[in-house]
Amino acid sequence: MASLIQTPFGDRAGMRKAYGEALVELGRARRDLVVLSADVSNSDFSYMFESAFPKRFFNVGIAEPAMVDAAVGLANSGFVPIANTFAFLFSTRALEMVRTHLCYGRANVKLAGAYAGLSDSFDGPTHHAITDLAILRSLPNMTVVVPADPLAVARLLPQVADWNGAVYFRLCRNEVPQIFTEDYEPEIGKGILLMDGDDVTIVSCGVMVGRSIQAVRILAAERLSVRVVEIHTIKPLDAALVERCAVETGALVTAEEHSVIGGLGGAVAETLVQTRPVPLERVGIADTFAESGPYPDLLDKYGLSVAAIVDAVHRVLQRKVACALKAAAS
Amino acid sequence: MTVWVGSGVARPSKRNRSEKSREKQVEKTIGYEGTFLADRVYPRGARHTPEMIADLSRRAYEYRAQVLRMVYERKSGHIGGAFSIAEILTALYFHHLRIDPERPGWPDRDRLVFSKGHACAMLYTVLAHRGFFPVAELRTFRSLNSRLQGHPEPGKTPGVEVAAGPLGHGVAIGAGMALGAWLADSRRNVYVILGDGELDSGVIWEGLLVAAKFGLSNLKVIVDYNGVQQTGATATVMPTEPIAAKWASFNWHVTEIHGHNMAEILDALDRADEIHGRPAVIIARTTKGKGVSFMENAPHWHGGIPDDDQFRIATEELQEGVRQWQA
């Protein structure tokens, strides 16, 4: 199990480049794959697909609603379209198209949301996507996938294309540490136990997976046994795994590069409150817009630091102990 | 011939006999029970004979009567925009479209994007009479457990290609379908039915740009320009004229026709198919609520529901419309 994680982490590598390469490889494997762009292909690196397969690449200009609608038409024609633009635009400007045609109309369209979370850090809150998981997760028939490192992008993208129905594939703009080893074999809809432990479980996604592992290494020095589960598929959530962790460790912390409202933490809370209510702490961005700045600093300032995860583990363990004492007293 | 009789809707219980018998007479003569010409299809390429034009024109009135009944019985639906598109949909489904009700998923079928989804009672009526599903099913319109949703849902209703209702999607979706046909090296065409009210929507114009950029000559848009939207005349709600000049300036081929004249519609569709190098639009000048005097050009009948008297009068007027085309 530990063999899924590189120790120490590998060098930092670009998520955009990983996406562009995976897209080209997929285009080679699948002749029915088409790519649409709202004129940011040199940002999200879908230009790599354009270079390799110009006939199957369509730049519709700065027209995100029309891009999603055109993708609906291509899906109706038997193709597998991947629409590309900044993540926030799918869950804001083009949302009505996504809801009406991808979700209600079940158009088999994939959305690659670039620059998600705070990763377009310097461009500021207009370009950050910190509510996209909440918005898209609430839509029936939508699947939401968040890769955590370049290998995860390469391993998950073909599954996104194979998946029967709409998928939102949430991508980070920046270079991130390479976390996973070659043994990492993610499967859409299934969480992955990355590190075992008994005292508490950290459930995380995206860039917060690496930070969660770092937190666990700090907590190990305190002789705390912490489990780490990666939930790369926010929807459908692997509820069985989350519930098992609640039973086995009695406390959970969620960690995500997203608002604390409605994302991974919300999904885990919704599941546990009905089945296995245990103390739960959510690490995420407080209900606020962020600001411009360097990416790691921005993550730290807005509540996503390794220390914030460590603190959340401490808090949840105190609550767990308090619950146990209360139960013993009654 | 599938028979569609009765209503299942509670009617006022106290009525005099003459009124009842008059209603029965109307039901009998309006044609639910056998006056349809067995949903005859005139194959693509068939010559537009006077008989064919008269037959299709007559059936457009019969389909209006069917829509009227669906909305009257469900007390819900949109009549005005359904009536304005009757001849155009009849021309497309019973002559121009290369489709096969036996194979709704046939990859090389022509695509029809019904962008003005609120008028779907007419789409459902035409699809049923074309054989995509039983005509009897039309009575389930907007009911629980029905395949005929308030606005079109693909996958649920055979023959419906895309969801519609929120307005403005048709051109961009059609552009995607046209790109798909081009990529697949298919000769299939894509037809999009727009209302004029939805021209207010920005994504329509995004779609125009996209279609023109890629020179999608396999994309044909028909605008049901009936001049009325929900709260009033389009000219006052949101002026879109000069509409032909606008489309032309977006590098589309533009024609304007009388949208209730079957011969003009059939000819315009044929001519549109001969346009190469750019997408084509047919601006069809129509009348909202066409065929019923008190519904014509009245914004109320965008979503108005006829009462018993209005239903009877409207049925009689549509019946007159049927008669005028009978040999």
Q: For chain B, say whether A73 makes contact (Cβ under 8 Å).
A: yes
What average pLDDT score do residues B136-150 get? 95
So what's the pLDDT on residue A330? Answer: 85
A27 and A129 co-located in one domain:
yes
B244 Cβ contact partners less than 8 Å away, ≥ 6 residues apart: B254, B256, B283
* Domain housing B190: 19-324
CATH of the domain at B238: 3.40.50.970
Q: Is the per-residue pLDDT at A314 higher than 70?
A: yes
Would residue A117 count as lying in a domain? yes
Would residue A319 count as lying in a domain? yes
Longest CA–CA span in chain A (Å) reads 71
A144 and A197 co-located in one domain:
no
Would residue A8 count as lying in a domain? yes
Would residue B75 count as lying in a domain? yes
A28 and A135 co-located in one domain:
yes
What's the pLDDT tens digit per position in A87-138?
999 999 999 999 999 999 999 999 999 999 999 999 999 999 999 999 999 9
How deeply is A10 buried, as exposed, middle or buried, from its count of CB atoms within 10 A (0-12, 13-18, 19+)? middle
Would residue B13 count as lying in a domain? no
Q: Is the per-residue pLDDT at A1 higher than 60?
A: no
Rounded to a whole number of angstroms, the distance from the CA of B213 to the nearest CA of chain A is: 8
Find the angle CA(B75)-CA(B199)-CA(B227) to the nearest 5 degrees. Answer: 60
Would residue B230 count as lying in a domain? yes
What's the pLDDT tens digit per position in A48-58?
999 999 999 99
DSSP string of B242-309, one letter each residue: SHHHHHHHTT-EEEEEETT-HHHHHHHHHHHHT--SS-EEEEEE--TTTTSTTTTT-GGGGT----HH
For residue A55, which residues of chain B lie inside 8 Å, CB to CB? 183
Which pTM was predicted? Answer: 0.93
B144 Cβ contact partners less than 8 Å away, ≥ 6 residues apart: none
Q: Is the per-residue pLDDT at B6 higher than 50?
A: no
For residue A105, which residues of chain B lie inside 8 Å, CB to CB? 153-155, 162-163
Would residue B270 count as lying in a domain? yes
What's the pLDDT tens digit per position in B69-86?
999 999 999 999 999 999
Q: Alpha helices of A165-263 — where are they, by DSSP H?
A: 208-220, 239-249
Q: For chain B, say whether A76 makes contact (Cβ under 8 Å).
A: yes
Parallel/antiparallel/unpaired status of strands B253-258 and A252-259: unpaired
User: A44 is written with which tokens?
Assistant: 């999200």
User: A140 is written with which tokens?
Assistant: 């029936």
Q: Is the per-residue pLDDT at B32 higher than 50?
A: no
A12 and A87 co-located in one domain:
yes
Contact B163 A104 (CB under 8 A): yes
DSSP state of A187: B
Contact B154 A105 (CB under 8 A): yes
A39 and A166 co-located in one domain:
yes
CATH of the domain at A226: 3.40.50.920
Nearest CA in chain B to A67: B172
Strand order in the sheet with A226-230: A192-195, A226-230, A200-204, A252-259, A280-285
Q: Indicate the pLDDT class of residue B181, thresholds 50, 70 and 90.
A: very high
A155 and A257 co-located in one domain:
no
Q: For chain B, say whether A72 makes contact (Cβ under 8 Å).
A: yes
Contact A77 B177 (CB under 8 A): yes
Last residue of a domain, one of A122, A156, A179: A179
Would residue A184 count as lying in a domain? no
Last residue of a domain, one of A124, A155, A179: A179
> Mean pLDDT over all residues of chain B?
90
Residue A34, strand partner residues: A81
Number of domains into which chain A is organized: 2
A314 Cβ contact partners less than 8 Å away, ≥ 6 residues apart: none
* Domain housing A64: 2-179
Report how far residue B322's alpha carbon sits from residue B313's, in angstroms, rounded to the nearest whole number.
14
Q: For chain B, say whether A139 makes contact (Cβ under 8 Å).
A: no
A138 and A59 co-located in one domain:
yes
Number of domains into which chain B is organized: 1
Would residue B182 count as lying in a domain? yes
CATH of the domain at A114: 3.40.50.970
> B29, B319 in Cβ contact below 8 A?
yes
Would residue A105 count as lying in a domain? yes
Q: Indicate the pLDDT class of residue A2, thresholds 50, 70 and 90.
A: low
The type of residue at A101 is H
A120 Cβ contact partners less than 8 Å away, ≥ 6 residues apart: A86, A127, A128, A173
A235 and A164 co-located in one domain:
no
A126 and A27 co-located in one domain:
yes
For residue A74, which residues of chain B lie inside 8 Å, CB to CB? 176-177, 179-180, 183
A55 and A137 co-located in one domain:
yes
ipTM for the predicted complex: 0.94
What's the pLDDT tens digit per position in A149-173?
999 999 999 999 999 999 999 999 9
Interface residues of B toward A, Cβ cutoff 8 Å, are: 107, 111, 113, 153-155, 161-163, 165-166, 169, 172-181, 183-184, 190, 202-203, 206-207, 209-210, 213-214
What's the pLDDT tens digit per position in A273-311?
999 999 999 999 999 999 999 999 999 999 999 999 999
A27 and A107 co-located in one domain:
yes
Find the angle CA(B124)-CA(B88)-CA(B204) to the nearest 5 degrees. Answer: 85
Rounded to a whole number of angstroms, the distance from the CA of A93 to the nearest CA of chain B is: 11
Would residue B108 count as lying in a domain? yes
Closest CA to A208 of A170, A167, A250: A170
Alpha-carbon distances of B295 from A74, B74, B116, B144, B221, rounded to whole Å: 38, 18, 19, 28, 26
Last residue of a domain, one of A151, A179, A207: A179
Contact B178 A60 (CB under 8 A): no
A145 and A264 co-located in one domain:
no
User: A307 is written with which tokens?
Assistant: 């220390």
